[in-house]
Amino acid sequence: MSGESAAARELLAGAVRVVVFTGAGVSAESGVPTFRGPGGLWKTFRPEQLATPEAFARDPRLVWEWYGWRRGLLAACRPNLAHVAIARWMLRRGGVALVTQNVDDLHERGALEAATGLAREGRLRVAAGPAGAPASEEARAAAPDASPLHDDELPVEKIAAAAARVAPIRLHGSIFHVRCTNCRARSEHRAPLDASSEATLPRCGACGGLLRPDVVWFGEALPEGALEAAFGAAARADVCLVVGTAGAVQPAAALVHETAGGGGRVIVVDPGETAYDAMADVRLWGAAGEVVPGLLRDV
């Protein structure tokens, strides 16, 4: 194990509260294009044409066509080892908040895989207390591991509840949710999209208004509750683990400075350069799927 990895594991093992902050890079090995890297979305498409409220007002059909394409791409992707390792770690130790800029659902699907794996091993604990709160020694000791389970014995509800507990705080929304441009009702939306004409675009079931993807576009404010929860968790954290973000987009990118400003330490995992390299206490140069599982194993 490299000195850097050992140093990072020591920081994580000694931390009571941790915030994990992810970007497009954590999903790259699942086949999801990043934004600014080689083959990145903004290398091929123009954000001002597809990811602004003005673009949607101008041509909702074009914008929906693009989000339909991205959804199709995502449907064919699976969570990778980094998504699963992060969720497994959160389920085992408590005290970790996950904040993502991504609009894909791979953290949630990774959490279901992690919870199912732990249940199979008889090691799925459902810790008491609010998500992100440190699991007390008593709580850890009180929930000893059980015996391994066969697939037909898996506690589906317990697995779903555990996965929900480690769901990410979403700073930029979700590509599988929609919002009504008229009554602002929000809902999950996974139905196939027909963007062949404006008449076929998705409509609000309550008021008939045009639905839009419930993602944060350039020039738009972040969801208030998510922003407060994320920055609050970062300010309280002893360690911020940054995985797969260039740190180029504000205000999300400022989150890491909340931890450092409060005396916390910063670990960065990324194969390329990021805006956090100079402030990182530990810098791990590598792909998330290769670095994160070993970094978090038994920490």
Which residues contact ligand APR (rule: CB under 6 A)?
23-25, 28-29, 34-37, 40, 101, 172, 244-246, 248-249, 270-272, 274, 287-288
Give the torsion sign (CA, 221, 240, 245, 278): positive
Q: For the chain, how far is it from start to end, CA to CA, in angstroms?
A: 14
Token pair recorded at residue 65: 């066509």
Gap between the Cα atoms of 111 and 220, Å rounded: 29
Residue 38: is the preceding peptide bond cis (ω within 30°)?
no
Please, are residues 83 and 116 in contact by the beta-carbon 8 Å criterion? no
* CB closer to ligand APR, 107 vs 172: 172
Q: Pick the catalytic residue: 83, 172, 189, 257?
A: 172
> Could you count the other beta carbons within 10 Å of the beta carbon of residue 38?
8
In terms of DSSP bridges, do strands 18-22 and 186-188 run parallel, antiparallel, or are they unpaired?
Answer: unpaired
* CB closer to ligand APR, 17 vs 283: 283
Q: Does residue 257 have an active-site annotation?
A: no
* CB closer to ligand APR, 97 vs 215: 215
Least gap, CB of 212 to ligand APR (angstroms): 15
Least gap, CB of 279 to ligand APR (angstroms): 15
* CB closer to ligand APR, 86 vs 135: 86
Least gap, CB of 296 to ligand APR (angstroms): 14
Burial tier of 192 (Cβ tally within 10 Å: 0-12, 13-18, 19+):
exposed
Least gap, CB of 120 to ligand APR (angstroms): 27
Question: In 3D, which of 8, 1, 2, 6 has the Cα closest to residue 265?
Answer: 8
In terms of DSSP bridges, do strands 282-284 and 265-269 run parallel, antiparallel, or are they unpaired?
Answer: parallel
Least gap, CB of 28 to ligand APR (angstroms): 4
* CB closer to ligand APR, 149 vs 279: 279
Please identify the residue of the shown chain whose CB is closest to the bound ligand APR: 25
Active site residue ranges: 172
